[in-house]
Amino acid sequence: MGLRVALVGATGAVGAQFLDILGKGRLQVDELRLLASKRSVGKSLDFHGQSLPVAEATPDSFEGIDVAFVTAGGDISRELCPAAAKAGAIAVDDSSVFRLEPGVPLVVPEINADDLEGHHGIVSTPNCCTVPVAMALHTLRQASPIRSVITSTYQSVSGAGTAAVRELTEQSAQVLAGEAVKPDVFPHQIAFNALPQVDKFLDDGYTAEEWKMREEARKILGAPGLPFSATCVRVPVFQAHSFAVNVEFEGPVSPATARRLLSEMPGVRLSDTGTGDPYAHPVEAAGTDDVFVGRIREDTARPNGLVLWITADNLRKGAALNCIQIAEELLRRDLFPKR
Amino acid sequence: MGLRVALVGATGAVGAQFLDILGKGRLQVDELRLLASKRSVGKSLDFHGQSLPVAEATPDSFEGIDVAFVTAGGDISRELCPAAAKAGAIAVDDSSVFRLEPGVPLVVPEINADDLEGHHGIVSTPNCCTVPVAMALHTLRQASPIRSVITSTYQSVSGAGTAAVRELTEQSAQVLAGEAVKPDVFPHQIAFNALPQVDKFLDDGYTAEEWKMREEARKILGAPGLPFSATCVRVPVFQAHSFAVNVEFEGPVSPATARRLLSEMPGVRLSDTGTGDPYAHPVEAAGTDDVFVGRIREDTARPNGLVLWITADNLRKGAALNCIQIAEELLRRDLFPKR
């Protein structure tokens, strides 16, 4: 028996990755209902060689659905996830709306799949920055408890949607042609620039993105109060986010131990293997399913510290793939409501 | 009385900035001798509305010269700085060759101009990454001694020379046109990518660039052994380097105190002023002389910590401007050999 799947946000950047991954047979899909905003009605999208129509996503879209993947922004999630749950589906939500709510599992299956057991119809997937960093931290805390985490991000524009991808494309051509650019999606020119602002500023000087990374990592790792700070920076990269991460442990953890643990972790690909470059870069990681971890070295700033370089596709393990893995895990644990 | 100036590397990216800054009257120049490799002989460059010929840089180029600015790579510096000093000039060197040698002042004039007093004919200017970060650290240690520093860089391609600027330009056009790219200056595609490798890898897993930042900062700040680690990353930006910096102090330093100190520091421009964006970005900093410091906030990962965002033009304060300031300071202190 397969699943009856709804995909809200089917026409977006993450939606395309869902269709790609599901199309490769990652979940057994009995029915796929493509949903989007009213202006996409009439479009159709390819899935498994079939052309499927896009319907308008409304609270009534979820009758007979087992799992609704919702990736269309916070406002849509706030309206449609409870509707999907009420209709008997499990909503797997890619927005930040429910992530920190008590009772809503925030899950990276390799880390805290057990948290799914307590779901009430809505499960959240973490921010695309949180997933790869949490994967590495969870792996490494097997060697020693983590004392603190400092990270700086190099985030691609696709995290901000298809309009952002278009903006980088158009602005880049304009700059190369010597023309003026006019920012729209981003607060300043993004082409050939780096903007230390993702989402809005909060009162303490952090951005909402930096706050999300911190609070979500704490929840996923089950480590409330974990000392954690992030500087989130948008760079002119199309797809895949990267991270410089300084991890401080309670006791010594050698780079060799870190490499061994990371090489054994499902979903992680060790870049620092002794041959070739000890790192992956975003162009290499884009379109792949793994979290690449490399440049593992002792932190010369802190005892018991390691420094890492992490790269992962923000649309896949950072979003669509993680949602699909959540559905696989719900199925394995028989957590879908009986029909 | 003005100075008789030689500029070795006049046709390069940093050379152009020297001509721009000197052309605006920053030093009183009695004579300007433009020098470069043999293949540039026959070219001429504009200075102060005059067209000046480019001559070949040789050990015999420095007769009658007061100050030789040398910015043509390590090999040229190794040969020509001692020759310039022997001819009675002071060589102000932009390469890494002499920076950590005892007896060679490594100077950011706002920080350690006194170190110039002990010069023996060669003075080094720090790496373009070291200068802006050291400026901020020096300012902030007035509030409390620094315990440790962690930084991640967002470095523009112009730090790798004019061929690197051309490579980013050409590759960007190729990617936009859907064509394949072939890396030459950089180890992988730099267009729409981020490469956590600047310079070669050392045995401990750090790159030479990261090692330079650490060791040079220690020397400039007179803080041998300062716990310091860097992750240096090349991003597709043309001009101006940026830095996420986590500074840990011995005692508490509030963001308000940091802002006050930074607002009073010559050469620093405070971005985080309470109006507008609390940061500058590389496109904004390119072509300017200041070190922009913003996004000042408490570090949620460490007690007594602050997080900063720094941006500065790597070719100006990171190179040409700092060299010219060194010459100004040598003049002010009457440290040039008597004619």
| Chain A partners within 8 Å of B168 (Cβ) | 192
Regarding whether B138 and B95 lie in a shared domain, the answer is no
Span B222-241, average pLDDT: 98
For residue A265, give the amino acid letter.
M
- Give the count of domains, chain A: 2
Query: Which of B205, B235, B294 has its CB closest to that of A295?
Result: B205
CATH number at residue B111: 3.40.50.720
**CA A290: distance to chain centroid?**
12
Q: Give tens-digit pLDDT for A175-216.
A: 999 999 999 999 999 999 999 999 999 999 999 999 999 999
Inside any domain, residue A338? no
- What is the pLDDT at residue B88? 97
> Nearest CA to B290 among B275, B318, B312, B273?
B312
Regarding whether B324 and B296 lie in a shared domain, the answer is no
| Chain A partners within 8 Å of B305 (Cβ) | 229
Regarding whether A101 and A227 lie in a shared domain, the answer is no
String of DSSP letters for B200-246: PBPTTS-BHHHHHHHHHHHHHTT-TT--EEEE--B-S-SS-EEEEEE
Return the structure tokens found at B283: 């496109």
Regarding whether B241 and B119 lie in a shared domain, the answer is no
Regarding whether B168 and B293 lie in a shared domain, the answer is yes
Residue pair A3/A22 in contact (Cβ under 8 Å)? The answer is: no
Span B257-283, average pLDDT: 97
Calculate what percentage of chain A has a pLDDT beyond 90: 98
Inside any domain, residue A86? yes
Confidence of residue B243 (pLDDT cuts 50, 70, 90): very high
Regarding whether B111 and B39 lie in a shared domain, the answer is yes
Q: What residues contact residue B24 under an 8 Å CB cut-off, 6+ apart?
A: none
Structure letter (DSSP) for residue A316: I
Inside any domain, residue B104? yes
Q: Give tens-digit pLDDT for A286-312.
A: 999 999 999 999 999 999 999 999 999
Inside any domain, residue A32? yes
Asked whether residue A253 carries a pLDDT value surpassing 90, the answer given is yes
Q: Give tens-digit pLDDT for B21-53.
A: 999 989 999 999 999 999 999 999 999 889 999
Q: Give tens-digit pLDDT for B51-103.
A: 999 999 999 999 999 999 999 999 999 999 999 999 999 999 999 999 999 99
Q: What residues contact residue B138 under an 8 Å CB cut-off, 6+ apart?
A: B108, B110, B111, B220, B221
Domain with A172 in it: 130-314
Inside any domain, residue B228? yes
Q: Give tens-digit pLDDT for A260-282.
A: 999 999 999 999 999 999 999 99
The alpha carbon of residue B121 is apart from the nearest alpha carbon of chain A, in Å, by 33
Neighbour order of strands in the sheet with B305-312: B228-231, B146-154, B241-249, B305-312, B291-298, B268-270
Inside any domain, residue B339? no
Across the interface, do A229 and B301 touch by the CB < 8 Å criterion?
A: yes
Inside any domain, residue B337? no
Span A60-75, average pLDDT: 97
Q: Give tens-digit pLDDT for B281-309.
A: 999 999 999 999 999 999 999 999 999 99
CATH number at residue B284: 3.30.360.10
Regarding whether A307 and A283 lie in a shared domain, the answer is yes
Asked whether residue A49 carries a pLDDT value surpassing 90, the answer given is no
Query: Which of B172, B229, B299 has its CB closest to that of A307?
Result: B229
Regarding whether A269 and A323 lie in a shared domain, the answer is no
- What is the pLDDT at residue B223? 98
End-to-end CA distance of chain A: 11
Q: What residues contact residue B98 under an 8 Å CB cut-off, 6+ apart?
A: B77, B81, B104, B122, B124
Write phi, then psi, for B249 (nearest 5 degrees): -110, 165
Q: Give tens-digit pLDDT for B165-180.
A: 999 999 999 999 999 9
Regarding whether A217 and A138 lie in a shared domain, the answer is yes
Residue pair A20/A172 in contact (Cβ under 8 Å)? The answer is: no
Inside any domain, residue B338? no
Return the structure tokens found at B190: 């730099």
Mark whether B128 is an active-site residue.
yes
Confidence of residue A339 (pLDDT cuts 50, 70, 90): confident
Span A223-227, average pLDDT: 97
Return the structure tokens found at A114: 């057990």
ipTM above 0.90, yes or no: yes
Regarding whether A138 and A110 lie in a shared domain, the answer is no
Regarding whether A115 and A134 lie in a shared domain, the answer is no
Regarding whether B202 and B178 lie in a shared domain, the answer is yes
- What is the pLDDT at residue B338? 85
Return the structure tokens found at A316: 């896949």
- What is the pLDDT at residue B48? 85
Across the interface, do A283 and B150 touch by the CB < 8 Å criterion?
A: no
For residue A134, give the amino acid letter.
A
Confidence of residue B1 (pLDDT cuts 50, 70, 90): confident
